[in-house]
Amino acid sequence: MALYIVPTPIGNLGDITRRAIDVLSRVDFIIAEDSRYSQKLLNHLQIKKKIISHYRPKEETQAEKIVAMLASRDGALITDSGTPAISDPGFILIRKAVALGIPVIPLPGPTAFVPALVASGIDPQRFLFLGFPPRRRNNLQHFLEDLAPLPYTLVFYESPRRLGEFLKTAAAVLGDRNFALAKEVSKKHEKIIRSSLEQWPALLEQEIILGEMAVVIAGCSEAPPPEPAPQFDDIDDLYDFFSRRFGLGKNALKKILMKKKTKNPAGRRNHDG
The boundaries of every CATH 3.40.1010.10 domain in the chain are 3-106
> Residue 84 has what pLDDT?
96
Mean pLDDT of 61-82: 96
Q: Does domain 3-106 have CATH number 3.40.1080.10?
A: no
Q: Does domain 113-217 have CATH number 3.30.950.10?
A: yes
Per-residue three-class SS string for the chain: CCEEECCECCCCHHHCCHHHHHHHHHCCEEEECCHHHHHHHHHHCCCCCEEEECCHHHHHHHHHHHHHHHCCCCEEEECCCECCCCCCCCHHHHHHHHHCCCCEEECCCCCCHHHHHHCCCCCCCCEEECCCCCCCHHHHHHHHHHHCCCCCEEEEEECHHHHHHHHHHHHHHHCCCEEEEEECCCCCCCEEEEEEHHHHHHHHHHCCCCCCEEEEECCCCCCCCCCCCCCCCCHHHHHHHHHHHHCCCHHHHHHHHHHHHHHCCCCCCCCCC
Residue-wise pLDDT tens digits, 151-163: 999 999 999 999 9
The boundaries of every CATH 3.30.950.10 domain in the chain are 113-217
Is residue 124 very low, low, confident or very high in pLDDT (cuts 50, 70, 90)? very high
Residue-wise pLDDT tens digits, 129-146: 999 999 999 999 999 999
pTM of the shown model: 0.77
What rounded mean pLDDT belongs to the chain?
Answer: 88
Mean pLDDT of 68-77: 97
